[in-house]
Amino acid sequence: MRIDYGYFEEDQLGKPYDVRLIRRLFPYVRPYGFLFLLSIGLVVAVTVLDLALPYLTKVAIDRYIVQEIQDDKPGVSQQQRFYVADLRILKVERVVSRYPSLFEVERPYALILYGDLSKLGKADLVELRATDYAGVARIAAIFLGIVICHFVFSFGHVIIMEYSGQSIMHDLRLRLFKHIQDLSAAFFTKNPVGRLVTRVTSDVQNLHEFFTSIVTVLFKDVFLVLGITVVLLVMNWQLALVCFLLLPFIFLATARFSRLARDAFREIRVKIAEINSRLQETIDGIRIIQLFLQEARNYARFRKLNHENYLAGMRQINIFAVFMPLIELLSSVTTALVIWYGGARVLSDSLSLGTLVAFIYYMRMFFRPIRDIAEKYNIMQSAMASAERIFLLFDNQERIREPETLMRMPRGATVNGVGETVSFDKVWFSYVAGDWVLEDISFTVRNGETVAIVGPTGAGKSTLIHLLERFYDPSRGSILVGRVDIRRVPKASLRGSMALITQDVFLFADTIRDNITAGNPELLPGRLKEIVAACNLDRLIKSLPHGLDTVMTEGGRTLSSGERQLVAFARALARDPEILILDEATSSVDTETERLIQEATLRLMQDRTSIVVAHRLSTIRHADRIIVLHGGRIRETGSHDELMAKQGLYYQLYQWQAVS
């Protein structure tokens, strides 16, 4: 067992496996592939609409606001800008006739300097430019229509992605929870609860953010950048090349940022998981912390851990504090280049004003995805760090495997003439390789027999029980139930034939009724009443405000240790087990409660095969056989009287307890 607060995943990180991780996430996305494709289609539509807006601005400026002068227009000078009026329109011809000195007539057109338009009366100007007003109104209407469509498509995209993301996280969280439940007891002895909770909660939530904020938005950014590039090259390739001069610097900065940001986010995820673990440990052990006056020491350890998390967060902030202003600087420099070069082209009449305005608009749009990369990379790297941990947890197969060929658990120890229920055959076991906890253990428990296992602390008593319940598998040897190796029996069938009552009883935060019937949810009310009486729970049930329907706190902490034991006995009796296992079930209760438990024990053990791990030797004098363990080996076997007569290890243990 690791005691350095280590966690299996921390030693395996360090390489950016983004592509591999995304590939592993794909099976969770596949059921919602159609929705993702639909969302991508909406994103493409939104991108097209985004690209259309600056071009509409260009059209409005060049065609209606400040007309683009064409070389084939009669009388047009490259040094002056004229407004071209169409004399074929009656209202226009009337205006021109009223100001003959301002217009140069070249039928069917009339030219007027833009500077002279202010000399016209307001009504005349409106009549002269009626076509332009109408054109601007049409452009505005199209603009408004595009904005409305943009809203509808964006709304649909958000709804679809949120639904898909929530569904994916729902499936992933369920599978992760099921995987954790199937892991062996050895896994949980090595991994802090707080970090496992982080995997199922915040890490899964980070992946939700990845799917909803990154996947399809990434398509939008790619389409937007490519679309802008194409549009700029088509409008004016010389100015476009000027705009792209700084792109190599942008790519270098982004690549550098991505490497630094990934390390920062990974470190933050590790620290958050450690904080959760420390908090979980503090809450679980708060009584011991307060009892041994460890508040200051525990606070100092948490403060150190919290400060390390603060430093990791500050490193992340420093990275973004450099990247974001740098991108803004490059964006401003690019805009300045557009204004300098494009403005000179406009002054020389080789570029229209609308094209220059559109270029500036497009370049601001071009840098938007790059500016957004900070936030998106924040989400993506946080998600990738979480995905690493989630899949490392999925990759951990430290579990008790089901047999390839399943056999039903024999119901009744005398099936097919078999007379023995449980048999340990030369069993060896170690938690750590080479450090044997059990060595060459062999014994048999027959049908209806009660066998007690005793020995000093660390002798391996509880380990025997863990092996029988298949929380672990033997390193060597085999364990048989009804002459069938338990490794060939489904775990559910094996454990369904047994009931285990331990010293530290765990009760769910549920009603007492549901805690008792957990072993048999189909238990009839009449039978439940009999079980409550048999386990001496009547007085407790009557004292509770809602009787059997009283809801307990987590772990049943509102009940005393003895009361929890009685509920555990009732739960075991409700299961009607073939084999009853008691692991130090009466070692921490008062004398009166012990008497009630002893009565419940005798009723529960009647006509059942029972294995009792005992600390108080006085409680197992009635056992048919007593097995004495010491140093992981069986030292003595026999009844109480036989072992006392031998005056061996059991005799010494009994005398020590009698004296104490």
C-alpha to C-alpha distance for 201 and 137, rounded to whole angstroms: 53
Summarised one tens digit per residue, pLDDT across range 307-356 is: 988 988 888 888 878 877 887 788 788 888 888 888 888 777 777 788 88
Which of 142-151, 263-272, 520-529, 607-616 is the most confident on average? Answer: 142-151
Kindly report which listed range (179-193, 416-430, 520-534, 572-586) carries the lowest average pLDDT score: 416-430
* Mean pLDDT within 242-264: 77
**What topology is assigned to 504-576 in CATH?**
Rossmann fold (3.40.50)
Q: Which of 138, 269, 133 is nearest to 195 (CA)?
A: 269
Confidence of residue 605 (pLDDT cuts 50, 70, 90): confident
What is the CA angle 304-307-308, rounded to 5?
A: 90
151 has pLDDT over 90: yes
Confidence of residue 80 (pLDDT cuts 50, 70, 90): low
pLDDT at 418: 39
Share of the chain above pLDDT 90, in %: 8
pLDDT at 425: 92
Q: Does residue 108 have a cis bond before it (omega within 30 degrees)? A: yes
Contact present, 133 and 19 (Cβ < 8 Å): no
482 has pLDDT over 90: no
User: Helices 591-605 and 561-575 meet at what angle, rounded to 10?
Assistant: 10
pLDDT at 8: 44
Structure tokens at 41: 């289609």
End-to-end Cα, the chain, rounded Å: 33
411 has pLDDT over 60: no
Which DSSP state fits 117?
G
* Mean pLDDT within 398-410: 68
Confidence of residue 74 (pLDDT cuts 50, 70, 90): very low
pLDDT at 152: 94
Kindly report which listed range (76-80, 87-91, 128-132, 655-659) carries the lowest average pLDDT score: 76-80
Confidence of residue 416 (pLDDT cuts 50, 70, 90): very low
C-alpha to C-alpha distance for 363 and 394, rounded to whole angstroms: 45
Homologous superfamily of domain range 10-63+134-395: ABC transporter type 1, transmembrane domain (1.20.1560.10)
Structure tokens at 336: 């300045």
Q: What is the model's pTM?
A: 0.66
pLDDT at 10: 47
Residue 606: which region, alpha, beta or left (left: phi > 0; alpha: psi -120 to 50)?
Answer: beta
Confidence of residue 373 (pLDDT cuts 50, 70, 90): low
Q: Which residue has the tokens 């966690």?
A: 7
Q: What are the residue ranges spanned by the domains of the chain?
A: 10-63+134-395, 67-131, 420-497+580-587+609-660, 504-576
Q: Please state, rounded to an integer, the average pLDDT across all residues of the chain.
A: 80
Instruction: Summarize the chain as % helix, strand, coil (round to 5).
Output: 65, 10, 25
Structure tokens at 384: 């990738």
Q: Phi and psi (nearest 5°) for 480?
A: -115, 140
Kindly report which listed range (67-71, 117-121, 374-378) carries the lowest average pLDDT score: 67-71
The alpha carbon torsion through 497, 501, 502, 503 (nearest 10 deg) reads -170
C-alpha to C-alpha distance for 210 and 69, rounded to whole angstroms: 50
Contact present, 478 and 441 (Cβ < 8 Å): no
298 has pLDDT over 60: yes
Higher pLDDT, 405 or 483: 483
C-alpha to C-alpha distance for 164 and 335, rounded to whole angstroms: 39
Confidence of residue 77 (pLDDT cuts 50, 70, 90): very low
4 has pLDDT over 70: no
Q: Which of 254, 175, 163, 255 is nearest to 211 (CA)?
A: 163
User: Helices 18-29 and 130-182 meet at what angle, rounded to 10?
Assistant: 90
| b (16+ CB within 10 A) / e for 347-380 | eebebbbbbbbbbbbbbebbbbbbeebbebbbbb
DSSP string, 236-270: -HHHHHHHGGGHHHHHHHHHHHHHHHHHHHHHHHH
Distance of CA 388 to the CA centre of its chain: 11
Q: Which of 513, 608, 522, 526 is nearest to 570 (CA)?
A: 513
C-alpha to C-alpha distance for 175 and 160, rounded to whole angstroms: 23
Q: What is the CA radius of gyration of the chain?
A: 40
Q: Which residues pair with 358 in a beta bridge?
A: none
User: Helices 353-395 and 247-284 meet at what angle, rounded to 10?
Assistant: 40
Kindly report which listed range (15-29, 153-167, 446-460) carries the lowest average pLDDT score: 15-29
Q: In what order do the strands lie in the sheet with 484-485?
A: 435-446, 420-432, 476-481, 484-485
Contact present, 393 and 176 (Cβ < 8 Å): yes
What is the CA angle 660-502-522, rounded to 5?
A: 145
Please indicate whether the domains covering 420-497+580-587+609-660 and 504-576 agree at the CATH topology level. Answer: yes
pLDDT at 153: 92
pLDDT at 413: 43
Q: Which residue has the tokens 């452009």?
A: 139
The two counts, helices (H) then strands (E), for the chain are 24, 13
271 has pLDDT over 60: yes
Contact present, 342 and 351 (Cβ < 8 Å): yes
pLDDT at 12: 45
Q: Which of 336, 338, 323 is nearest to 238 (CA)?
A: 338
465 has pLDDT over 70: yes
The alpha carbon torsion through 629, 630, 632, 633 (nearest 10 deg) reads -70
Which of 231-245, 247-261, 445-459 is the most confident on average? Answer: 445-459
* Mean pLDDT within 600-618: 80
Summarised one tens digit per residue, pLDDT across range 526-565 is: 888 888 888 888 888 888 888 888 888 766 777 887 888 8
Confidence of residue 122 (pLDDT cuts 50, 70, 90): confident
Domain spanning 420-497+580-587+609-660, CATH class:
alpha beta
- Strands 82-86, 104-106: pairing is unpaired
AA letter at 542:
K
pLDDT at 25: 84
pLDDT at 18: 63
Q: Which residues pair with 625 in a beta bridge?
A: 451
User: Helices 561-575 and 525-534 meet at what angle, rounded to 10?
Assistant: 130
Higher pLDDT, 480 or 189: 480
Contacts of 542 (CB under 8 A, 6+ apart): none
pLDDT at 635: 92
Return the beta strands (E) in 448-497 as ranges. Answer: 450-454, 476-481, 484-485
C-alpha to C-alpha distance for 13 and 29, rounded to whole angstroms: 24
Kindly report which listed range (106-110, 162-166, 290-294, 500-504) carries the lowest average pLDDT score: 290-294
- Strands 476-481, 450-454: pairing is unpaired
Helix (H, G, I), strand (E, B) or coil at 625: strand
AA letter at 153:
F
Q: Which of 612, 509, 529 is nearest to 570 (CA)?
A: 529
